[in-house]
Structure 1
């Protein structure tokens, strides 16, 4: 029977974590600077709900350790992970006694030579802060929840929408539940964990459409049950090849009966819907998508095409030139009077430098792309007119726009995702007035979705190829849907994970 704890009127809570989606199918590697780590008091500036004057800030003494979040990318180098973890641990070790720790992560970080990196880091944190400190973990629903991670977390939750319009709400919930647990002196929650042998891409599990909309709507119903504190479903991260990668359910709360019933309901709902998951938009080859866009009526524009295989926000290298090469080869776009096309984007540091030197209005010949991922196409040479130059972007550094025929190609010093209207208008581009906008992305982020009139997903090659079976996973646990479509029904009974201050024994996967 869990034992009550002594209430703490104003607990001392540290904030720590590292977050990234790492595709093991991309040749890219991620180094420490990519995490843009914040330290000490800077950490609190990430969270509007901890701004001065907010009730949650006043409810505890919050201490930032180190929080770093990287743009999705390739595997994190062992040296980068060691550097960031060592500093994070050193900062925690220098703090006074803690009552709680909020572990703010993504959950899909792959590190060279390490499986389940977030659990490895949390184990080091636990060794540093001690077994009595309560840990609340917040995650992306595209993260992975191993039994070990669930064990070392006292509370654990994730986003409930994809696209992630509730990301701040989720983080606030994790912090608020932790404060509530500490200030009431309630026992450590009971945790019901169920691994679900399904691994699907985010573009097939968007909560904008069924069945994910209903599957995730059930989370609120379970959370409303007496005896439940939080309920969560993780889709898992499809573009990494690790044993932990799969869907999972965790329900936490004071009642073992309630969390067990809730977890089993959510796991069954996800499993039973597996055959119904479909792409969030119509799909086709890149040429098919371009053909449809060009044949569409002017009222169906701007027509957005997602160049999905090299999506930098899912872990793609971002510099695959395969799609852009085919766009520029189309005869419809050879002349400046052709249909207006915006392509976002391709990295090319030397191309950016050359265009910057030449200046807006100059005609230049530059080569960009395929410095990291050249498996599908090589570096691409283009001749065009410099349309715009912009400095100071957090991700890209410097951006230039090169007009090649009727195609406006965005070239960046470093890779960058294009999610917002201002990403284009800041470059003197008008996405609403364009005929076609091609973006390296999967499902459209909210602003682009609202802007689009037509939309298709192009099934293109790259490190986050939507054809998961084609990618060649070898280390995931089998059987797994859709890799084994005729597999038998799995054991979806809840596993009650021991509290974090108890020994984790055996393996019940």
Structure 2
């Protein structure tokens, strides 16, 4: 067997002011054929898992380019078309192939392309023809369009949020692909549109039990090859934005349709109950200070670079400064210019510095402080499960008993190693302030005495009922109370 694999992925917040060009991919991951490291990134696990599977099978894996950019705003037309055509040219050169296995995200939007994944998948299908297997692993925070479904045999999405299972799901993808190529299965995909958009953390109920349930169905029912929930991505203003359920069966389309509908209606009945309750910055700090022992983790959930924001909000920092709280560490505030200034000053320097809140309204105001540059790290990285997440050149500065990590590559706060790599002992701090919606939970929950979810400022369009969408459907929940007419109302 000859199998072609490649990766092209990012998550686009169409409301974000930060555009992505080719340099955005190169800063996060750009690996020409054969140069991808052994450790996968979030969306490149199909490539690294494929190396092992194909080696075991004695198959030939033809690697194309792997490119990933940290979430932001629109991808430039030149960047998307250039990377797309690079991969398609590699596929053409690899022909004939028996399968194409891709790593995608599913929420990319590029200038001139509302559905880049649908575009590249359709072009792949045109190249290989109707009978060659085409499949992909995707992030659940994405859009599932009719165009991409029509071009693909099946999809597998991460189940967990935080996405701790991206390697496991790549294993599932390849298991189904191998069965198909060896003639042991005929995967058929069923899709149900839940007519809603919500946030579904699997670290809490009711989503925890739902994911456990679908995994049990996969395990116990031989007809069911895979079940995925496409959460949707509310910051992507595209026509087919929303939550969907995907069931892949072994040539049992009717059974898959029925199961997808049943599971989708179960999610729909619980809409509005999944997301962790959030409090504002004043209440968050009050609750943190009420704890006798630290570290208390305050998650600045909506200034999350993993959702495409800048990650430079200072709303929580300004409140901590106002209350004169000490023994607090912030990880991170994105400000490449401030990092450059600190790099020029050198470790140990005490300098006046303005940083943060440069990207957009609703992120607070820049902080002016006299800071000590404690530590500088080039090309800093933190752990994220089985991979590493870069946050670029970084500076650890201290002022008034407050520690702040300034970074040059936007990245959400995945893991306490974010602090330790910069010389900060996270467990010695009274309060840790991080920027992430829920990906932080798996690792930070191991050291936190309490976790507080805070909604500070308005860097992210987090209320679809009032978000000024221009392209997304306005006929789904919560824009409409009960679009499926079931009588269930959790608005």
Q: TM-score normalised to the size of structure 1?
A: 0.86
Structure 1 pair 322–484 and aligned structure 2 pair: CA distance change class (3 A): same
| Equivalent pair of 2:70/2:410 in contact (CA under 8 Å) | no
1:175, CA displacement in angstroms?
1.8
For 1:58-207, list aligned pairs within 5 A.
58-59=56-57, 60-184=59-183, 186-187=185-186, 189-201=187-199, 205-207=200-202
User: Higher mean Cα deviation, 461-470 or 237-246?
Assistant: 461-470
1:86, CA displacement in angstroms?
1.3
> Separation in 1 of the partners of 2:376 and 2:475?
51
| Equivalent pair of 1:28/1:373 in contact (CA under 8 Å) | no
> Separation in 2 of the partners of 1:52 and 1:465?
37
| Equivalent pair of 1:420/1:447 in contact (CA under 8 Å) | yes
Q: What's the secondary structure of 2:149's corresponding residue?
A: helix
> Separation in 1 of the partners of 2:470 and 2:256?
33
1:332 to 308, 324, 338: 324
Q: Does 1:311 align with 2:301?
A: no
The match for 1:500 is: none
> Separation in 1 of the partners of 2:280 and 2:266?
32
Structure 1 pair 421–275 and aligned structure 2 pair: CA distance change class (3 A): closer
Deviation sequence 1:343-397 (CA, Å, 0-9, x none)? 1122223322222233322211112234433554343322111121111226333
> Separation in 2 of the partners of 1:365 and 1:302?
29
Structure 1 pair 392–275 and aligned structure 2 pair: CA distance change class (3 A): closer
Q: Which runs of 5+ in 1 are unaligned?
A: 1-10, 334-338, 492-509
User: Higher mean Cα deviation, 474-483 or 447-456?
Assistant: 474-483
The match for 1:285 is: 280
Q: Does 1:481 align with 2:477?
A: yes
| Equivalent pair of 2:156/2:169 in contact (CA under 8 Å) | yes
For 1:459-470, list aligned pairs within 5 A.
459-470=455-466
Structure 1 pair 193–29 and aligned structure 2 pair: CA distance change class (3 A): same
1:15, CA displacement in angstroms?
0.7
| Equivalent pair of 2:234/2:462 in contact (CA under 8 Å) | no
Structure 1 pair 186–468 and aligned structure 2 pair: CA distance change class (3 A): closer
The match for 2:387 is: none
Q: Which has the larger radius of gyration?
A: 1
2:341 to 343, 346, 354: 354
1:85, CA displacement in angstroms?
0.8
For 1:328-407, list aligned pairs within 5 A.
328=321, 330-333=322-325, 339-374=326-361, 376-393=363-380, 395-407=390-402
Structure 1 pair 456–53 and aligned structure 2 pair: CA distance change class (3 A): closer
| Number of residues of Structure 1 aligned to a counterpart in Structure 2 | 467
Q: What's the secondary structure of 2:310's corresponding residue?
A: coil
| Equivalent pair of 2:281/2:315 in contact (CA under 8 Å) | no
1:173, CA displacement in angstroms?
1.2
Structure 1 pair 462–66 and aligned structure 2 pair: CA distance change class (3 A): farther
| Equivalent pair of 1:350/1:367 in contact (CA under 8 Å) | no
Structure 1 pair 22–490 and aligned structure 2 pair: CA distance change class (3 A): farther
> Separation in 2 of the partners of 1:93 and 1:232?
31
2:30 to 32, 37, 62: 37
Q: What's the secondary structure of 1:29's corresponding residue?
A: coil
| Equivalent pair of 1:43/1:65 in contact (CA under 8 Å) | no
Q: What's the secondary structure of 1:396's corresponding residue?
A: strand
For 1:216-255, list aligned pairs within 5 A.
216-223=211-218, 224-253=220-249, 254-255=251-252
Q: What's the secondary structure of 2:282's corresponding residue?
A: helix
1:166, CA displacement in angstroms?
1.0
1:308, CA displacement in angstroms?
1.7
Q: Does 1:268 align with 2:265?
A: yes
Structure 1 pair 251–382 and aligned structure 2 pair: CA distance change class (3 A): same
1:409, CA displacement in angstroms?
1.1
Structure 1 pair 478–434 and aligned structure 2 pair: CA distance change class (3 A): same
1:490, CA displacement in angstroms?
7.0
Deviation sequence 1:318-347 (CA, Å, 0-9, x none)? 22333333333x2323xxxxx301111222
| Equivalent pair of 2:206/2:273 in contact (CA under 8 Å) | yes
2:14 to 18, 24, 30: 24
The match for 1:259 is: 256
Deviation sequence 1:173-221 (CA, Å, 0-9, x none)? 112211220112654x3321111111113xxx11121111122223224
Deviation sequence 1:80-124 (CA, Å, 0-9, x none)? 111111111111111130100112111111112221221111112
1:488, CA displacement in angstroms?
4.2
| Equivalent pair of 1:140/1:159 in contact (CA under 8 Å) | yes
Structure 1 pair 478–416 and aligned structure 2 pair: CA distance change class (3 A): closer
2:3 to 13, 16, 28: 13
Q: TM-score normalised to the size of structure 2?
A: 0.89
> Separation in 2 of the partners of 1:303 and 1:470?
32
> Separation in 2 of the partners of 1:17 and 1:197?
29
